[in-house]
Chain A
Amino acid sequence: MLSTKGQVIERLLDGDFICRTTNEDGWRFLRIPANREQVDAYLGQLNRLVATIGTGPDSEVFFCGYRALGDAERKKISEQFRDICQALTPLVEWLVLVQDAAGQDAPLTEGMPIRLNELQTVIEDTPAFREQLSHLCSHRLFYSTSVDVDRQIKQVFSRLCDLRYLIRPNTEKQIYLATGKLDYLYEVIRFIDDAEGLNLEDQAESAVQGQLL
């Protein structure tokens, strides 16, 4: 069997995000600076390093980046960037749908559970949410031709599990947990917002006030 260090290196090299929800042992391991240096030294031989995002001490997410950037690496990075940009809008639509349907005022973040049965009941009972779900399914990311809410939502969730935005700790239960990759998504949007000066937060705020008036 692999040691925790071995597992962490394997997950990182496989392109995974290591967060508290997906791999608590590995996450605790990487939070110790000495361990992180060891992993970093190992990955250095493969021109890689341990990168991290996260604001709080408990919400760190680790992933693997390149150490030196050559042409090949740049190409890979811009491919990945393009992928994530294409996925951005459908994922955001999904986040808003889940948040609205659950009636929460906090969006989904790492470690938060979704009970698919409850979500499905709410969506089935609300025409506006059903419409949003159908719209979601028209994106290539979730592509589903079914007109049935049950199949559409299962397709969306299974895609999200494939993409590792969600995990399903118990295959017999319809409970999903959000992973640290979602936090990465927020960071990407925030970066784009800052870099292009879109003022997304202000736009949302003024729209809410407009509705209230």
Chain B
Amino acid sequence: MSDHLKEAGLRLLRGLARHAEPIMDAYLSGSIADQALEPGVRERLLKDGILYRPEPGADLHLRRAVRALLEEALRDDRNRRIDANTGSALASFKTLAEHYKEAHHQGDYAAAEAYLADLKEHVYAFGETLSHGIRVLWSRINNEFGYVGTLDAKIRENELAQSQVSALLAGLELVNFEVLAETAGDLRELRHLLVTNLQRTIGSCAQELSIVQGRLLELLGRFREIRGRTRLIKGWLLHLNQHPEYQVGPHAAGSAIPALFNRAAPALAPASLSLHDPTREAELLALLAKVRSLHPRESRAQALADAPALTLTVPDDFEVRSSAIRAAVDAYFCEVIDSGEPLSALDYRDRQSLSNDAESWLYQVLGGYEGLPEEQKRYFELETIGEVHPLYSGNFIIRDLRLWLA
């Protein structure tokens, strides 16, 4: 009998190996078309119960058992099936235990041995199914349901996983050790299997399931928060579109200010260096090295060429006229250097109440900047603020200028 079984099993496994390719195709794409298989192979696979046809005219699908084997071996994420049917497992334990007891009492030890081995197989398989279920749940938690794309799908997957956890926990509650102990009676082997062993398995599974449940809830909370935030910001824009006049209420005014808005204003003024602390010399030198020097590079001594003949002539008369506006531009540049902050040219003009009109003032500032020697110009940045001419391309109308230290 067992020789025959072994023979048949080997044949089946060899069949699987021989047709590995179509089986994997069917696994990956879900089904396989009739034409993809040679008729002989197809018949063989159908007869061995590896493939089946779910309805007439449909493509061939992998049998659940084969698919489960592959999912398990490949640790496939798509594996969502969890067997939570504790009731039928318990019923089969009980039946087999009764068989064993009967055989034992009748003194048929060979049969009792066989029943015990069968029962062992069932109990171990029960534990294995439970831990498999938990493993599947963990693998889904660990990649945060990464196998589905959208947040809503993740939330649904999470809810499915939670219902599976609840089902598993409800199944575990069905296990009543008093009844099992009664079934086992005073037979040592049976007691060991049905009480001690099962208790250990179920204890560890229940513990792990509660951790899984906690993690699932946490993840769900996070998904919901993310979704809530998306809706919050989209809702905000929507609300503003529908109510353009909307103003935020004075939440930070009344007598009780919400803790959220209780933010202290910055209270640190810039500190200065202590030049008298000799222990800080290295840091100070490092700072000094970073300070950009404004001195132009020393012109290197040049070898003098032969001097041309020197003739003295009367120089032409010229006069440097100081202009008020040019002096004001210089003052503006100095102000930028002193403050170190970006300063708008028009703001400066208004603040100093200069009499020049805006346009000539801007011209003059622009001219003053362009007129700087190249090495001084590098220390400033000038930004032109204005807009492109609405009609004619390539024209830029300057409304204001802003100058700061580069």
The chain A residues found within 8 Å of chain B, CB to CB, are 10, 13-15, 46, 48, 51, 53, 55-56, 63-66, 69, 73-74, 76-81, 85, 88-89, 92-93, 95-96, 99, 105-107, 109, 145, 147, 186-193, 195-196, 198-205, 207
Contacts and interface: CB of A to CB of B under 8 A. Distances in A.
Contacts of A109: 226, 229
Given A107-B226, A201-B228, A204-B232, 15 more contacts: A13-B266, A14-B268, A66-B264, A78-B253, A80-B263, A92-B236, A96-B233, A105-B150, A105-B227, A192-B248, A200-B232, A202-B235, A203-B238, A203-B239, A204-B231
Contacts of A145: 385-387
Nearest to A93: B237
B210 to A, nearest CB: 19
Interface residues of B, number: 43
Contacts of A15: 263-267
B232 A189 contact: yes
A64 B264 contact: yes
A77 B252 contact: yes
A193 B348 CA distance: 42
Interface in B111-157: 150-152
B249 A190 contact: no
Given A95-B233, A196-B249, A204-B235, A64 B263 contact: yes
Interface string B201-225: 0000000000000000000011001
A96 B237 contact: yes
Given A15-B265, A186-B229, A200-B231, A51 B236 contact: no
A148 B240 CA distance: 27
Interface of B: 150-152, 221-222, 225-240, 248-253, 257-268, 385-388
A156 B248 CA distance: 24
B226 A76 contact: no
A64 B169 CA distance: 46
A191 B259 CA distance: 11
Q: Output the residue of B235, B257, B259 with the most chain A CB within 10 A.
A: B235
Contacts of A81: 251-252, 261
A201 B233 CA distance: 8
B381 to A, nearest CB: 14
Contacts of A46: 267
A14 B387 CA distance: 37
A79 B266 CA distance: 13
Contacts of A53: 260
B247 to A, nearest CB: 8
22 contacts: A13-B264, A13-B267, A65-B262, A66-B264, A73-B264, A76-B265, A78-B250, A80-B263, A80-B265, A81-B251, A85-B248, A95-B233, A96-B233, A99-B230, A106-B226, A106-B230, A193-B235, A200-B235, A200-B238, A201-B228, A201-B231, A207-B238
